[in-house]
Chain A
Amino acid sequence: MTHPASGTPVPDDVAIRLVGLTKRFGGTTVVDHLDLDIRKGEFFSLLGPSGCGKTTTLRMIAGFSDATEGSVVLGGTDVTSVPPHKRNVNTVFQSYALFEHLDVAGNVGFGLRRKGLDKAEIARRVTEMLELVELGARSKSKPRELSGGQKQRVALARALVNRPEVLLLDEPLAALDLKLRRQMQVELKNIQREVGITFVFVTHDQDEALTMSDRVAIMNSGVIEQCGTPEDVYERPRTAFAAGFIGTSNLMTGTYSGGELTLAPGITVPLPGHPDLVDGSTTSIAVRPEKIWMYEFEPAMVRIAGTVVATVYHGATTQYLVDVAPDVRVTVLEQNLVRSRNEDRWADGDSIELGWQPDHAVVIH
């Protein structure tokens, strides 16, 4: 997977390899021995809460921050001690960081002028890039005359026009309102497909990471909790943090014994198909709210009794809070397909049964 042993040759399809990358500020370790391979042409997201080290990791890839230990390998070359202006990566900043004294075309052409390309070539590539981000008509505007979404596109164009090996994006959509953000998510993904450049995208927004990425690394306290496709990390979370950070998850902890998990005296959850678990060990399972059924169970499902304590109607769905044991409250999300009217839904205090497919209960390590 993504934990290369240091010293092994970097395969051709790897754009970035991080080997034991560590950053300490004073006594605090912000990034802790990160090992990661990011493949060429991949849309890769670093997802985590603020302070998890995702931005510091990005800054070390860009060269703005020096690694305390470990190395950054870019396209097969160790660039750990190479200054930012000599690295073939470009960054889209959260604040956009546009140059206010230059117009849109001046901003976008800035990197190309530094590279010493001739004027005609710069003009051609700037025009082409502005067309791509649909700002062809604004090339003479100053940044302060643009809206947030337009500034965002200029920042993107300014970075992409240099055709970097890797494009680094530091929460580029965080400053936009929700509607614009959704729109930019789709556009960004389309642009990435079109140009085929490796994108490393830092975000704290799990929706954003899931909808845009080819792969997601969930970071917490300077380490990667889990790395995989959006489906991997959502359907098969490996740690309690991963299960809790992406979407909501029902975490149930108990003592495992003979294919059952005892949550409280007398209350057990069947947990078949885990021969690796040791009898008597404390085990947690995570079940997604939408994977829990409340009626019309299928034969293979495991079942557990519970009491409805709250019902929240969301329009397309209804959310139930169900107590299955003292101190064990489960969230259940039901599509309002058939039972759409209020009188048909469960009410608070109803004794009901919950059920799920055995393989939807993921054992958390």
Chain B
Amino acid sequence: MTTLDAAAASSATPSATTPVAPAPARRRRRSVEGRPRIAVAFTALFFVVLYLPIVVVVLFSFNSRKSLSSFESFSTRWYVQFFNDDALLSSLRASLVISGVAMVGSLILGTMLALALERVSSRPSRILGTTALVPLVTPEIVTGVAALLLFTGLGIKLSLMTVIIAEITFSISYVAVIVRGRLSAMSDDVEEAARDLGCTPFQAVRLVILPAILPALVASGLLVFALVFDDFVLAFFTTGVDPQPLPVRIYSQIRLSISPAINAVGTCMMLVSILLIAFSLVVPRLFGRRDSGLDLISGG
């Protein structure tokens, strides 16, 4: 936009004063309508590299043959196989439960953490605030091994519950960081205004703070759901035998033999992600806001 405006301005100004203007002409040759060709090419390459593997997965999930290298004809046999595979289905259910519960749990705890960190502006709070970020940069394998050692050390039997607990501790940071960003952009006066107008401290949070940070809640909720849904490392270390989370199940199946049914599973998982994105775009509008939760993740 800015480049276009600048180009328009630079071509308009000389025509008003002198008919011949060599400088804007040179400028125009370098960029077609303000976009350099090399940037267009790089952008195209970026999207190809990003999405080609996914396109291949989706394509071969509809392959009628077992081959993973040549496409024969359209068929839904792998989807049929997937939806008749009880082990895979129970893993899908387990993954959905883990993601859902971890999302709700980390939203509650992460928001509370963000509120607390934002409220106290002392030195200990700043140190705590930085500490809350550590899980974001800790290698997941470290968290995974630590969680496994903790659970076995405490004699807790590995199950869906242990996966959920591990995923929540891992996800709290994401929620806290995103929600805190939104909170710090909000004037402190807003909470005081609520108190001034008759809210108890709790009502101020419920009636004013939470609606104001709703986009951040949607954004971090989605992010956590997506991260946990396809998380392999933590799930691998903390899961019990049955049911296993979907990524762990896929991994153990691939070790035996690579079935195109995995492509169908992958396509289904991607569908979940797309639905989540659509959901995040729609929900804020239902509440009459123009800003969506995704803006917070993408920085738009």
Which residues on A are within 8 Å of B, measured CB to CB?
A: 62-64, 83-85, 89-91, 93-102, 110-111, 114-115, 142, 158-159, 162
Residues in B252-300 with C-beta less than 8 Å from chain A? 287-289
Residue in A closest to B208 when the chains form the complex, CB atoms: A99
Residue in A93, A94, A101 whose beta carbon sits within 8 Å of that of B212 in the complex:
A101
CA distance A102 to B288 in the complex (A): 9
Residue in B187, B192, B211, B214 whose beta carbon sits within 8 Å of that of A84 in the complex:
B192
Which residues of A lie under 8 Å from residue B192 when comparing CB positions? 62, 64, 84, 91, 93, 97
Tell me whether B289 and A99 are in contact (CB under 8 A): no
CA distance A97 to B195 in the complex (A): 12
Question: Which 6 pairs from chain A and chain B are nearest by CB?
Answer: A114-B198, A97-B189, A111-B197, A97-B193, A101-B211, A93-B189
Which residues on B are within 8 Å of A, measured CB to CB?
A: 187, 189-190, 192-200, 203, 208, 211-212, 214, 287-289
Tell me whether B195 and A85 are in contact (CB under 8 A): yes
Residue in B197, B199, B212 whose beta carbon sits within 8 Å of that of A162 in the complex:
B197
Which residues of A lie under 8 Å from residue B203 when comparing CB positions? 114
Q: With A101-B214, A101-B287 as given contacts, are A62 and B196 in contact (CB-CB < 8 Å)?
A: yes
Residue in A closest to B197 when the chains form the complex, CB atoms: A111
Interface of A is mostly: loop
Tell me whether A101 and B199 are in contact (CB under 8 A): no
Residue in A closest to B191 when the chains form the complex, CB atoms: A97
Tell me whether B187 and A97 are in contact (CB under 8 A): yes
Tell me whether A101 and B289 are in contact (CB under 8 A): yes
CA distance A84 to B189 in the complex (A): 13
Which residues of A lie under 8 Å from residue B195 when comparing CB positions? 63-64, 83-85
CA distance A90 to B194 in the complex (A): 10
A92 smallest CB distance to B (angstroms): 9
Residue in A63, A83, A95 whose beta carbon sits within 8 Å of that of B189 in the complex:
A95
Tell me whether B196 and A84 are in contact (CB under 8 A): yes
Tell me whether B193 and A93 are in contact (CB under 8 A): yes
Which residues of B lie under 8 Å from residue A100 when comparing CB positions? 212
Which residues of A lie under 8 Å from residue B198 when comparing CB positions? 85, 111, 114-115, 162
Which residues of A lie under 8 Å from residue B200 when comparing CB positions? 83, 85
B209 smallest CB distance to A (angstroms): 10
20 cross-chain CB contacts under 8 A: A64-B196, A84-B192, A85-B195, A85-B198, A85-B200, A89-B196, A90-B196, A90-B197, A91-B196, A93-B187, A93-B192, A96-B189, A98-B190, A99-B211, A99-B212, A100-B212, A101-B288, A158-B193, A159-B196, A162-B197
Beyond the given A64-B196, A85-B198, A90-B196, please list 14 additional residue pairs across the A-B interface where CB-CB is below 8 A.
A62-B192, A62-B196, A64-B195, A84-B192, A84-B195, A90-B197, A95-B187, A95-B189, A97-B193, A99-B194, A100-B212, A101-B288, A101-B289, A162-B197
A158 smallest CB distance to B (angstroms): 7
Tell me whether A158 and B189 are in contact (CB under 8 A): no
Tell me whether A99 and B287 are in contact (CB under 8 A): no
Tell me whether A110 and B197 are in contact (CB under 8 A): yes
B168 smallest CB distance to A (angstroms): 28
CA distance A158 to B194 in the complex (A): 11
Residue in B closest to A96 when the chains form the complex, CB atoms: B189
Which residues of B lie under 8 Å from residue A64 when comparing CB positions? 192, 195-196
CA distance A136 to B199 in the complex (A): 26
CA distance A90 to B211 in the complex (A): 22
Which residues of A lie under 8 Å from residue B287 when comparing CB positions? 101
Which residues of A lie under 8 Å from residue B193 when comparing CB positions? 91, 93, 97-99, 158
CA distance A197 to B175 in the complex (A): 45
Tell me whether A97 and B289 are in contact (CB under 8 A): no
Residue in A closest to B196 when the chains form the complex, CB atoms: A91
